[in-house]
Structure 1
Amino acid sequence: MSRTWNQYVVKQENKALVLTTIINHTPISRAAVAQSTGLNKGTVSSLVSELIDEAFVTESGPGASSGGRRPVMLLFNAKAGFTVSVDLGVGYIQAALTDLNGEIVQVEKKQVKESTFDLVFETLVHLIEQLIKHAPVSRYGVIGIGVGVPAVVSHEGEILLAPNLNWKNIQLKQALEDVFDLPILIENEANAGAYGEMRFGFKQPPKDMIYASIGIGIGAGMILDGKLYTGKSGFSGEIGHMTIVKDGTSCRCGNVGCFERYASEQVLLEHAVKRHLIKANEDLSLDTLIKKAEAHDQEVLQLFEEVGEYIGIGLTNIINIFNPEVVLIGNRLRDLQKWLIPPIEHYIHSRAIGFHQQDLTVDFAKLENFSTVKGMAAFTIERFLAQLKDI
C-alpha cells in the first residue's frame, strides 16, 4: 500500500511540474518539457495526455524544427477556469473576472460612500454575482473568489482591524462562504498588490521589492528574496502607522504622527479643504485636485510637492531598513506620479544611505490600478493549481 501511495504522490508531483513548465514556457514542445524537467519522454507524453484530457493543456500547430519533423506545441489553456478578484478599497470596490493567466476579462467598479459593513458587503456581493453571471463557459467555471482589503487580516480570513473602514473583528471570509459555494481567499490589499506586481508586472521580477500602497491609508507589501513576506502572524507591512513626526497629528489607529497622516490621499483632501483649494460647488475628490494640477494651480501643485516629500521620508526609512532593488508606489496616488516623483526622488537621493541607492529603482505600479486585483487572482489560481492531485 505504501509503495502504491508513494508512486501516486510522485506521479502527481511530476504532473504538477510538467504543468508548471508548460505555463511558464508556453508554447513548448513535449521534448522541451522533458529536457527542462529531467523527466523521460514517455513519462512526459503520458502526463501531457492527462493534462489535455483535463483541459489544462491544448495543442497548437507545429513549431520550428531543428531537424526532422516539426514538433507539436503545447499551450496552457488559460480559459479552463476563471477567478473573481476584488480590490475592496476605502470608498470603492473594484472587481474583475480573470482567466487562469490572470488576464482581465471584465471589470466592475462601484463607488461606496458609506463604510458600514452591511452596505459594503451588499455591494461586494452584487459585483461578484455580476461577474460570475458573465463568466464564459469553461471546464472548471469560477474557481474561487479573492478579496484584498486594507486591513490586518488573520490567516482565517477575519478582518481584525481596518482603521480607515472603521471595521474590527469582521468575519468576511465566513460571510462570503455563506453566500457563495466557492473557495474564498481574504488578504491584505498591499500584500496582494506586491504579489500581483511580482507575478505580472515584470519580465524578470525583482528578488527584493517594496510595494507601497498609498490611498486613503498607507500599507506595504514586501517581496524579500523572491517571496512574499508577511511576518510571524501575517501582519507585516503596516508602514502607514510608523511614526515620522514626534507628537504629530492623531491617527485612527490611536497613535500620533503616523506616516499616513502626512502622505496619503486622506491628507491631500483634508488640506484641500483647510486651504480652500476646492470650492463648495466642486466635488471633494482626488480627481478634482488632479484637474487643478493639470491647469497649473500653484497651490495644488505646492500641496502635491509637500505630500511627495513626506512620501519620500517614509520610503527612505523603508529603503534604509530593507535595501530593496525596487520600490513601487501603487493605489490611488499612482495617478499623481508626474507631480510626486520629483520630490520623492529628491528626498531619497539626499537622505537615503548612499550604498542603498545603488541599483535602486523607485517607480509607480506597472499594473496601474489593478495590482491588488491581479495579486488576488494569482493567489486564487495558485491555490487551485496546487490542488491538481484532487482533480
Structure 2
Amino acid sequence: MKITGDQQLIKKMNKTIVLDTIRQQQPLSRADIASVTGLNKATVSSLVSELIESQLVTEIGPGESSGGRKPTLLLFNRSAGYAIGVDIRVSDMLMLLVDLEGTVIQEKILPLVDSSPETVQNQIRKHINLISKKTPSSPYGIVGIGIGVPGLVDEKSRVVSSPNLGWDTVSLQDSLLPGFGNTIHIDNEANAGAIGEKLYGAGCDSANLIYLSIGVGIGSGIIVDGELYRGTSNFSGEVGHMTIAENGPLCRCGNRGCWETVASEKALMDKAAVLWKGSSIPNLEEVILQAKRGDERALSLLDDLGVHLGVGLANLINILNPELIVIGSRLSLAGDMLRDAMLRTVEARSLSYHRKKTNVIFAALGIRSTALGAASMPITSFLADPDVTPVVPSL
C-alpha cells in the first residue's frame, strides 16, 4: 500500500510540474515539456492527456518543425474557471472577477456607507451572487473567493483587529462559508497587494520586495525569496506604526509620531482640511487636480507628504535592503506629484550601499493590486490539485 501511495503522490507532483511549466512557458510541445522538466516523454504524454481531459490544457495546433513531424503546441486553459477578488476599504469595496491568469473580466466599486461586519458581509454575499450570474460558462465555474481586509488577520483567517473599519475579532470566513462553501481565502490587504504585484504587476521579476499599501493607514506586504513573510503570529508588515517623530501627532494605535500620522492619505486630508478651511474640503483626487493646476497649497501638501514618505522608505531600505519597494493603494494616484520629493529624501537619508540596488516605484496595478492578489489565492489553491474534475461536463 505504501508503494502505491508513493506512486500516486509522485504522479500528482509530476502533473503539477507539467501544468506549471505550461502556464509559465506556453505555448509548449510535449517534447519541450520533457526537455524543460527532465521527465521522460511517455510520462509527459500521459500527464498531458489527463490535463487535456480535465480541460486545464488545450491543444492549439502545430508548431515549428525541427526536421520531423510538426509538434502539437499546448496552452493553459485560462478560461477553465474564474475567481473573485475583494478589496475591503474604509469607504468602499473593489470586487473583481478574473480568469485563471488574473485577467479582469468584471469590476465593481461598491460604496460602504456602513462598515459594520454584518453590512459588509451582506454586501459581499449580494454582489458575489450577482457576479456569479454573469460569469461566462466554464468547466469549473467560480473556483473560489479571496478577500483582502485592512487589519490584522490571524492564521485561522479571523480578522483580529481592523481599527479603520471598527472591527474587533470578526470571523468573516465563518460567516460567509454557508453560502460559498470552503473556497474562501482571507488575508491582510497589504499581503494580498504584495501577492498581486508579485504575480501580475511590478514585482514579477523581483524575489525580494516590499509592497506598501497607503490609504487611510499604511501597511506592508513583505516578500522574501519569492515567498510572503508573515511573522510569528501572521501579523508582519505594520510599518505604518514605526515611529518617525518622537513627539509627533497622536496615532489611532495610542502611540505618537507613527509613520501613518504624517505620510498617509488621512494625514494629507487632515492638513488639507486646515488649509481649505471655510470652503469645501477636497478629497485626494481634487488635491491632485489642484496641484496639476499649480495651486500652491496643494503642491506644498504633496511635497511635504513626499518628504515624510521618503523618511520611512529610507528606514525600510536601511533595515531590509529590498530589491524593490512598490507603493500602492489610493496614494499611488498621486505618484507623479510625490516622486521627486520622496526620492530626494530617500537619497539623503538612506545608506548608499543599501539603496544602490533598491528600486522604488508606484504600483503597476494601481488600486487593483489587493483585489487581484486576493483573487490569486483561491486560484493557487485550485491549481495545486491538478486531479480536479470539471463540474461542467465536456461537450
SS in 1 for 2:256: coil
Match of 1:161 in 2: 161
Separation (CA, whole Å) in 2 of partners of 1:221 and 1:204: 15
- AA aligned opposite 2:267: V
Residues 160 and 169 of structure 1 are in contact (CA less than 8 Å); yes or no, is this contact kept in structure 2? yes
Residues 73-101 of structure 1, C-alpha deviations (whole Å, 9 max, x = no match): 00000111100111111111000001111
Residues 243 and 257 of structure 1 are in contact (CA less than 8 Å); yes or no, is this contact kept in structure 2? yes
Match of 1:335 in 2: 333
Residues 148-194 of structure 1, C-alpha deviations (whole Å, 9 max, x = no match): 01110011111001111111101111111133235100001111111
Match of 2:149 in 1: 149
Match of 1:119 in 2: 119
Match of 2:56 in 1: 56
Separation (CA, whole Å) in 1 of partners of 2:147 and 2:111: 16
Match of 1:386 in 2: 384
- AA aligned opposite 2:140: Y
**Gap regions ≥5 residues in structure 1:** none
Shift of 1:127: 2.3
Which has the larger displacement, 364-373 or 51-60? Answer: 364-373
Separation (CA, whole Å) in 2 of partners of 1:236 and 1:351: 24
Residues 21-56 of structure 1, C-alpha deviations (whole Å, 9 max, x = no match): 111111100000011111111111111000000000
Match of 1:322 in 2: 320
Ranges of 4+ aligned residues in structure 1 off by more than 3 Å = none
Shift of 1:223: 1.1
1:295 aligned to which of 277, 293, 298: 293
Pairing 1:223–2:197 present = no
Separation (CA, whole Å) in 1 of partners of 2:270 and 2:39: 61
Residues 158 and 169 of structure 1 are in contact (CA less than 8 Å); yes or no, is this contact kept in structure 2? yes
**What's the TM-score, normalizing by structure 1?**
0.96
Give aligned pairs, total: 389
Residues 277 and 299 of structure 1 are in contact (CA less than 8 Å); yes or no, is this contact kept in structure 2? no
Separation (CA, whole Å) in 2 of partners of 1:218 and 1:251: 12
**Structure 1 203/195 Cα, relative in aligned 2: closer, same or farther at 3 Å?**
closer
SS in 1 for 2:87: strand
**Gap regions ≥5 residues in structure 2:** 390-395
Separation (CA, whole Å) in 2 of partners of 1:358 and 1:294: 31
Separation (CA, whole Å) in 2 of partners of 1:63 and 1:108: 40
Shift of 1:278: 7.8
**What's the TM-score, normalizing by structure 2?**
0.95
2:371 aligned to which of 370, 373, 385: 373
Separation (CA, whole Å) in 2 of partners of 1:165 and 1:347: 32
- AA aligned opposite 1:129: N
Shift of 1:277: 6.1
Separation (CA, whole Å) in 2 of partners of 1:89 and 1:48: 42
Residues 232-283 of structure 1, C-alpha deviations (whole Å, 9 max, x = no match): 1210000011111112211112222111111111111111111226823x6x
Residues 283-326 of structure 1, C-alpha deviations (whole Å, 9 max, x = no match): x4212212211221110110011111111111111110000111
* Residues 1-391 of structure 1 aligned to structure 2 (within 5 Å): 1-202=1-202, 204-276=204-276, 279-280=279-280, 284-389=282-387, 391=389
Query: What's the Cα RMSD here?
Result: 1.4
Separation (CA, whole Å) in 2 of partners of 1:71 and 1:227: 36
Shift of 1:203: 8.1
**Structure 1 214/241 Cα, relative in aligned 2: closer, same or farther at 3 Å?**
same
Residues 143 and 182 of structure 1 are in contact (CA less than 8 Å); yes or no, is this contact kept in structure 2? no
Shift of 1:343: 0.8
SS in 2 for 1:388: coil
- AA aligned opposite 1:88: I
SS in 1 for 2:109: strand
Separation (CA, whole Å) in 2 of partners of 1:53 and 1:202: 35
Shift of 1:125: 2.2
Residues 191 and 228 of structure 2 are in contact (CA less than 8 Å); yes or no, is this contact kept in structure 1? yes
SS in 1 for 2:247: coil
Separation (CA, whole Å) in 2 of partners of 1:386 and 1:93: 28
Separation (CA, whole Å) in 2 of partners of 1:203 and 1:260: 24
Shift of 1:388: 2.6
Separation (CA, whole Å) in 2 of partners of 1:311 and 1:113: 30
- AA aligned opposite 1:82: Y
Residues 111-140 of structure 1, C-alpha deviations (whole Å, 9 max, x = no match): 213322222222222222222121111111
Residues 317 and 358 of structure 2 are in contact (CA less than 8 Å); yes or no, is this contact kept in structure 1? no
Residues 84 and 132 of structure 1 are in contact (CA less than 8 Å); yes or no, is this contact kept in structure 2? no
Shift of 1:204: 4.9
SS in 1 for 2:180: coil
Match of 2:393 in 1: none
**Structure 1 313/277 Cα, relative in aligned 2: closer, same or farther at 3 Å?**
farther
